[in-house]
Amino acid sequence: MNRIHSAVLHDDVRPVWSAEVISWLLGSPLPDHLLAVLDLGAGTGLGTRTIAALGHSVTAVDTAEDMLSVLRMANEGLPPGAAARIETARGSAECIPLGNQSVEAITCLQAWHWVDAVRATAECDRVLTPNGMMGLAWHTWDRTSEWVKALAAIVEPDGIPADQTRSVPGEFAGRGTFERKDFPFNYELQVDQLVQLASSWAFVAQRPDQLDVLAKIRRLGEQTESPVTGLVGFPHITAAFRLQRPS
């Protein structure tokens, strides 16, 4: 699978970021309080587009040009006002291509566990204004669900992997007003989409028995899809963290 096809697949099958979650990460601003936002590790912009739809201006930064190119293509289908509020730039969390105190909020969605936390935290401090908001979030599986347990038995033969949310810097709790909030949601998708989603997970794509694993996931989806909607419910919890930087 080439990189651009992989990026398109990522954009097609990964869950979006709700307005409720994004607004909370930005500090729950009033509707007329519009912010300059950095979406760090933006990927294909699943969160970027929600930020822009809420009226904020947003710069999407990612190391991968193929991901950003999918975001730019997606922008063509957005309302003109929202599309005009989105800019893209190549860069990393350790070297953010923005000026000092140039943004009022930063989001990093499903990405902070990839960064050098010490260097990235220093860079975020540099570009964020006083009283700025830093928001980190991950879509995680709801492991209390029997359906998720059945899926995990197929794709996690070695047990539950490391919790990505543990990469939230411990010093956040001592650097301002720090909060965590969980947002449960049920990601509904067709069986084919479920299989495509699983194929986009690196821990599945890299397995020598990938085709067998995907066949088992298809059977699980077919056994549990709704006879009314034809959709499979995939229970998730969005684990969200926000830190308001002191003046």
Q: What is the pLDDT of residue 1?
A: 53
Domains defined for the chain, CATH in brackets: 3-142+166-186+236-244 (3.40.50.150)
| DSSP one-letter string for the chain | --HHHHHHHHHHHS----HHHHHHHTT---TT---EEEEET-TT-TTHHHHHHTT-EEEEEES-HHHHHHHHHHHTTS-HHHHHTEEEEE-BTTB-SS-TT-EEEEEEES-GGGS-HHHHHHHHHHHEEEEEEEEEEEEEE-TTSHHHHHHHHHH-TT-PPP-GGGGS-GGGGGSSEEEEEEEEEEEEE-HHHHHHHHHTSHHHHT-TTHHHHHHHHHHHHHHHS-TTT--EEEEEEEEEEEEEPP-
Q: What is the pLDDT of residue 157?
A: 86
CB-based contact 224:137 (threshold 8 Å): no
Classify 86 as helix, strand or coil.
strand
Residues in the chain: 247
CB-based contact 37:72 (threshold 8 Å): no
Q: What tokens were used for 193?
A: 């989409």
**CA–CA dist 40, 96 (Å, integer):** 8
Q: What is the pLDDT along the chain (247 residues), one digit of tens a residue?
A: 556 567 787 788 899 999 999 999 999 999 999 999 999 999 999 999 999 999 999 999 999 999 999 999 999 999 999 999 999 999 999 999 999 999 999 999 999 999 999 999 999 999 999 999 999 999 999 999 999 999 999 999 888 888 999 999 888 888 899 999 999 999 999 999 999 999 989 889 889 999 999 999 999 999 999 999 999 999 999 999 999 988 7
Side-chain half-sphere exposure of 220, counting CA atoms within 13 A: 22
What does R_g of the chain's alpha carbons equal in angstroms? 18
**CA–CA dist 214, 224 (Å, integer):** 15
* CB atoms near residue 6 (< 10 Å): 17
The angle formed by the CA atoms of residues 187, 219 and 237, to the nearest 5 degrees, is: 20
